Amino acid sequence: MGDIRRWTPEKIRQVIRESNKQSANGSQKYVEWENSAILTDYEFIPCLCDESCWCRRHSCSGHYRIKEITFDQFLETYTKLWIPPNARENINNAVRFGAPFKGRQRNAVKPLQRLKDNWSDILTRVRGYNKCGLCDSPFSVVGDVTNLYQGKMWSQLLYDSVVPFDTKSQARIKRAGYTDPTKDFRAMNNELFNDLKKFSEASGMEVDGIRNLDSPWDVVTHLERPCGGQPLSRVLDKMFYAPQ
Average pLDDT for the chain: 93
Residues spanned by the domain of 119: 4-240
Evaluated on CA atoms 74, 80, 84, 90, the torsion sign reads: positive
Could you give the number of structural domains in the chain?
A: 1
Tens digits of per-residue pLDDT, 139-198?
777 878 989 999 999 999 999 999 999 999 999 999 999 999 999 999 999 999 999 999
Going by the DSSP 8-state scheme, the letter that residue 107 receives in this structure is G
From the list 76, 161, 95, 152, the residue with the least C-alpha distance to 127 is 161
User: Does position 25 have pLDDT exceeding 90, yes or no?
Assistant: no
Distance CA 202, CA 184 (A): 27
- pTM for this prediction: 0.94
Is residue 93's pLDDT more than 70? yes
Q: C-alpha distances in angstroms, 157 versus 83, 173, 184? A: 16, 21, 18
pLDDT in tens, 187-244: 999 999 999 999 999 999 999 999 999 999 999 999 999 999 999 999 999 999 876 5
CA distance linking residue 102 with residue 116, whole number of Å: 20
